[in-house]
């Protein structure tokens, strides 16, 4: 059974007909309303980190923010059919703002869901120096959620294998991925939920374009290499600034993310700054890029694996608009 998480997030059934998209079940009216809130969240007057608007827990602004995040997570789950009846979802928790928010919102939505699914939180303690081992277990115990802490000293392996000064992230991520998949299997989870959000996806699109020569981003849902699990990203529609505000309002016990001593991915940082500059100059641009990622026209690109250019001919009805003299806006 597929959940209409939009209904769950709204607390009522969808109002209007469906929007076309990948497995979409979201009503047009709701979607536009919600996405216009996302646009609003991008506007500096509303979204600036030092915004005068208060986000204390239980304030009206905070409740609105919480409602918006719940809507967007519900929409992403529905649009991509991320969670179904009987699923067992392992939520990967790093101790950062994104994964805390993901777990919190999923727990809220589960309470309203007309279906049954299991949530188990998982943290991988990589034995990074200074990692506060008590923080996550204490937090998870206080929630009463099922959880598992996996301790694996990937930190030492990475330090041994990678020469000083070289980037450690690719080996570290590979090790981590293998452990996460194994633990998901041991815990009996068929879905693995990660805390990547809209802005991670946009940044990845540009990273792949600029450095990989590929037009690809980060999928909201994918099957793992061996086909054993499905990875889902329920925060796909959520804006990073909203998540940061939510995490502050909720006072999640955040764990610093620089314990491994690795330099922040410089190229990702550069892309982040590029996008932030665009956003300041042209408010709403990030959301437009994100919308574009959901409206791809293969016949107007140059990848013959995606569109059969070889076999088009006179009389062929191409459905993607003006063909020869198509212009930029
Ligand atoms: S930043 Fe540190 S913990 Fe994260 S992937 Fe890179 S090496 Fe691993």
Please, which pLDDT band fits residue 293 given cuts at 50, 70 and 90? very high
Residue ranges covered by each domain of the chain: 87-297
Q: Look at residue 42 and tell me whether its pLDDT is greater than 90.
A: no
Nearest protein Cα to ligand 1, atom 6: 169
Banded pLDDT at 47 (limits 50, 70, 90): very low
Residue nearest atom 2 of ligand 1, based on CA coordinates: 260
Residues 237-284: pLDDT tens digits?
A: 999 999 999 999 999 999 988 878 776 678 899 999 999 999 999 999
Which atom of ligand 1 lies closest to the CA of 126? 3
For residues 5 and 73, is the Cβ–Cβ distance under 8 A? yes
**pLDDT per position as a tens digit, 20-39:** 222 333 334 444 443 434 33
* Residue 166 banded pLDDT, cuts 50, 70, 90: confident
Three-class HEC string of the chain: CECCHHHHHHCCCCCCCECCCCCCCCEHHHHHHHHHHHHHHHCHHHHCCCCCCCCCCCCHHHHHHHHHHHHHHHHHHHHCCCCECCCEEEEECCCCHHHHHHHHHHHHHHHHCCCCCEEEEEEEECCCCCCCCCHHHHHHHHHCCCEEEEECCHHHHHHHHCCCCCCCHHHHHHHHHHHHHHHHHHCCCCEEECCCCHHHHHHHHHHHHHHHCCCCCCCCEEECCCCCCEEECCCCCCCHHHHHHHHHHHCCCCCCCCCCCCCCCHHHHHHHHHHHHHHHHCCCHHHHHHHHCCCCCHHHCCCCCCCCHHHCCCCCCCCCCCCCCCCCC
Residue 128 CA, closest ligand 1 atom number: 3
Residue to mutate (ligand 1; options 125, 131, 168; most atoms within 8 A of CB): 168
pLDDT of residue 248: 96
Closest CA to 144 of 110, 184, 94, 113: 110
According to DSSP, the β-strands at 221-223 and 230-232 are antiparallel
pLDDT at 3 (0 to 100): 52
Sorting pLDDT into bands at 50, 70 and 90, what band is 64? very high
Give the pLDDT band (50/70/90) at residue 328.
Answer: low
Query: Measured from the CB, is residue 263 less than 6 Å from ligand 1?
Result: no
Q: How far is CA 39 from CA 35, 49, 76, 91, 113, in A?
A: 6, 16, 17, 28, 28
168 within ligand 1 shell (Cβ under 6 A)? yes
Distance from residue 169's CA to the centre of ligand 1 (Å): 5
Total-model pTM = 0.83
| Nearest atom of ligand 1 to the alpha carbon of 168 | 7
Over residues 113-127, the pLDDT tens digits come to: 999 999 999 999 999
Whether pLDDT at 324 is above 70: no
Ligand 1 centre distance from Cα of residue 262 (Å): 6
Q: Higher model confidence: residue 95 or residue 257?
A: 95
Mean pLDDT of 296-320: 89
Query: pLDDT tens-digit profile of 191-203?
Result: 999 999 999 999 9
* Nearest ligand 1 atom, CA 173: 5
Tell me which residue has its CA closest to atom 4 in ligand 1. Answer: 169
Atom 5 of ligand 1, nearest CA residue: 169
CATH number of 87-297: 3.40.50.620
Do the Cβ atoms of 59 and 223 come closer than 8 Å? no
CB of 262 within 6 A of ligand 1: the answer is: yes
Q: What is the mean pLDDT of residues 145-150?
A: 98
Residue located via tokens 């309303």: 33
Mean pLDDT of 51-79: 87
Residue 69 has what pLDDT?
Answer: 98
* 323: confidence class by pLDDT, cuts 50, 70, 90: low
Nearest residue CA, atom 3 of ligand 1? 260
Residue 6's pLDDT is: 54
Per residue in 179-229, pLDDT (tens digit) is 999 999 999 999 999 999 999 999 999 999 999 999 999 999 999 988 999
| Dihedral pair phi/psi, residue 161, rounded to 5° | -85, -30
């Amino acid at each position: 059974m597929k959940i209409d998480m939009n209904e769950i997030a709204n607390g009522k059934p969808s109002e209007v007909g469906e929007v076309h998209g990948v497995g979409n079940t979201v009503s047009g009216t709701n979607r536009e309303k919600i996405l216009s809130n996302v646009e609003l969240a991008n506007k500096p007057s509303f979204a600036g980190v030092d915004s005068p608007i208060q986000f204390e827990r239980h304030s009206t602004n905070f409740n609105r923010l919480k409602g918006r995040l719940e809507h967007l997570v519900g929409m992403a789950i529905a649009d991509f059919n991320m969670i179904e009846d009987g699923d067992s979802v392992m939520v990967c928790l790093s101790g950062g703002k994104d994964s805390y928010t993901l777990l919190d919102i999923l727990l809220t939505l589960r309470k309203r869901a007309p279906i049954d699914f299991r949530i188990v939180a998982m943290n991988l303690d990589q034995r990074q120096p200074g990692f506060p081992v008590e923080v996550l277990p204490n937090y998870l115990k206080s929630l009463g959620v099922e959880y598992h802490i996996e301790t694996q000293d990937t930190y030492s392996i990475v330090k041994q294998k990678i020469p000083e000064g070289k980037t450690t992230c690719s080996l570290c991520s590979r090790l981590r991925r293998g452990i996460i998949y194994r633990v998901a299997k041991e815990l009996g989870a068929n879905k693995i939920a990660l805390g990547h959000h809209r802005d991670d996806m946009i940044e990845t699109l540009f990273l792949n374009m600029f450095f990989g020569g590929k037009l690809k981003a980060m999928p909201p849902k994918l099957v793992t290499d061996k086909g054993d699990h499905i990875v889902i990203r329920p925060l796909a529609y959520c804006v990073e600034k909203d998540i940061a505000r939510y995490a502050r309002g909720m006072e999640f016990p955040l764990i610093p993310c620089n314990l491994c001593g690795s330099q922040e991915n410089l190229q990702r940082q550069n892309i982040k700054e590029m996008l932030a500059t665009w956003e300041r100059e042209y408010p709403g641009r990030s959301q437009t890029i994100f919308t574009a990622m959901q409206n791809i026209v293969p016949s107007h690109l140059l990848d013959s694996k995606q569109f059969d250019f070889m076999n088009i001919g006179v009389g062929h009805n191409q459905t993607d608009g003006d063909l020869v003299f198509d212009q930029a806006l």
